[in-house]
Structure 1
């Protein structure tokens, strides 16, 4: 099992366990804010399942129909996850707004607070793990899943604080108000994730990668490299593609041109922070 598959399996198993724990907390308390957290956990499980398939598909070798590989599916996975998060946030806002007008009693908040606090801590650990693995493996899916879990952590932390305040003040409607606020935060998180994935699907330029390439070329410049221009980047999951034009002396024969182009390719892949496939026009 690859590192990416192992990470997403861990995420999926943990998400299922935490989802069950949160629904237990909801059933013993009747708290809307806890239901908010539990509903987001359903999204975690669905998104994790889709992410597992997308990672499997993205690791498949190139074929005749997909000459650039299958890495783009990771952006689609992140898009689906973002939409699910956004929808969950909207549903939470409507449900909690109703209960804000028609409040209902809650109970056993101490037990619920402890359960949500523990699940939030576990989510933070797994989320940071996924983000680190995602950055190391250049996996958009893992990073999106990790950021989603961190969002869940912030949600849980806010809910814990809210539940403590409810116990101290005995203001029941505060539970629904907190859920509405958390719902808006979830919608915002879903929008950010969706926006980033759409940028990847539309080949939005990665300026960080461009700066890395420019820095490597400037620090290791050869005299025959008169000019490098039209530098463009694309990301296909963990794979990066760089397209550029290089101006070389007019008197170079094909062998010299090929040698210089090969040196640029080797230099970027050796000195750069990420492995990339280069298409260089001379």
Structure 2
């Protein structure tokens, strides 16, 4: 599977919907910002100008969100192995800085007017009220739309914008109250109400600072690869519980999660029995990956397995584990107990070209490691066997072909044997000698009773082994004629 995007590939539906939501948010922010700015300049309202500044920040934030959405959905490539999801966190970080600057400016201007008792020259007009009500309606609509798309596609940037624009509703409402109070003070000649407008501006700045703090905390956590809040408590406990429920998982030694854009990354270290096969280890890994992706669909999961001694291990398992750790092959392991001590006998296969001195040193170290693993072991008797070369010589191959011909000749003495096929001759070393075993398939009539089948096979085995005493075992698998013709 290629990691690079196909240049002519169609735009995926999720990306198109996310981009459409972000683009509509940019258009709405531009229109509202322009209306608030014009209204604030015409009326002289600091609250309205602060709202215009706030909406200007929203416009910049919406534009950054649109850019980040276009980039973040790009697939991983050679330069960005973990994808481009971090661009959403980076855009949120820039947005936080802009919000902080606007808040400081609004606080400064508000305090200057409140403490300096600057006379406010407000122009009475219904337009600020209309603009603010329109702004509340637009912010409510786009906040819901952004939240819906963000939840559907797990977009961090769109969710941040949805929360941000949701708070704009309350800030616009605060300015609306401030303007109403200021107009009332102007009309009824109540000087104290003139402070309502800068106080409303302060309320707006506090709302911006609150959103700024929450957004900054989340952004910094994402940039520093902090554990996502949704995985820190209940879900983390649930995930550990699900992992430990997988047959073969002894312990969860480490569980690390992080988020980049809409993608979760999980890094697991699991203790699994050290005597399981490689195939079983792979099955456990796949089950652990499925358990994580059940809670985090599409998560990128890396599983590290640590061979671990389990309580269910027998003495034989622990002995074989020591040999496996040393990459040695042992068989025919027997353990006996006398007077409270264990006595072990085992067979060890070594390369046939290995000198005796090196083989002895290898056995000495192996036995020492086994005593450390199982202190109850008193004595160990190791039979050293040479592992023969796996490539047969031409003379051996010719002998095997002769055995196959002799088997077919011997089968002709039994008319009900229709044919002999799939003949396999194997050589198994045993105590310095070559033990030969012959396997074959034998075709017989469909309606032949099993008692007669057994008699024919037994007779063929006896006659063949009598003429070929070097064959230790002949295994015959009977098949019906109809099966053989399939």
Q: If the length of structure 1 is used for normalisation, what is the TM-score?
A: 0.92
Q: 2:249 aligns with which of 204, 225, 228?
A: 225
Distance in 2 (CA, whole Å) between partners of 1:152 and 1:177 is 16
Distance in 2 (CA, whole Å) between partners of 1:235 and 1:273 is 11
Partner of 1:272: 295
Partner of 1:7: 21
SS at match of 2:254: strand
- Root-mean-square deviation (CA, aligned residues, Å) is 1.9
How big is the shift at 1:109?
Answer: 4.3
Distance in 1 (CA, whole Å) between partners of 2:176 and 2:228 is 38
Structure with more of its chain in strand, by fraction: 2
How many positions carry a matched residue from both structures? 281
Q: 1:192 aligns with which of 210, 214, 221?
A: 214
Partner of 1:16: 30
Partner of 2:194: 172
Residue deviations 1:142-171, cap 9 Å, x none? Answer: 111112111211110111122222233432
Relative to structure 2, which stretch is displaced further, 105-114 or 150-159?
Answer: 105-114
Partner of 2:316: none
Structure-2 change in CA distance of 1:254 and 1:77 (3 Å): same
Residue deviations 1:221-249, cap 9 Å, x none? Answer: 22311112310101111111000111111
The answer to whether 1:80 aligns with 2:94 is yes
SS at match of 2:266: strand
Residue deviations 1:53-97, cap 9 Å, x none? Answer: 111111112111211011111111111111111111111112223
The answer to whether 1:243 aligns with 2:267 is yes
SS at match of 2:147: helix
Partner of 2:129: 113
Distance in 2 (CA, whole Å) between partners of 1:89 and 1:63 is 39
Distance in 2 (CA, whole Å) between partners of 1:279 and 1:143 is 27
Distance in 1 (CA, whole Å) between partners of 2:298 and 2:78 is 23
Structure-2 change in CA distance of 1:205 and 1:20 (3 Å): same
The answer to whether 1:51 aligns with 2:65 is yes
- Structure with greater Cα Rg: 2
* Gap regions ≥5 residues in structure 2: 1-14, 187-192, 306-486
Partner of 2:393: none
How big is the shift at 1:201?
Answer: 0.1
Contact 2:177–2:200 (CA<8 Å) still a contact in 1? Answer: no
Contact 1:233–1:242 (CA<8 Å) still a contact in 2? Answer: yes
Distance in 2 (CA, whole Å) between partners of 1:274 and 1:14 is 33
Q: If the length of structure 2 is used for normalisation, what is the TM-score?
A: 0.55
Structure with more of its chain in helix, by fraction: 1
Q: 2:84 aligns with which of 46, 67, 70?
A: 70
How big is the shift at 1:214?
Answer: 4.0
* Gap regions ≥5 residues in structure 1: none
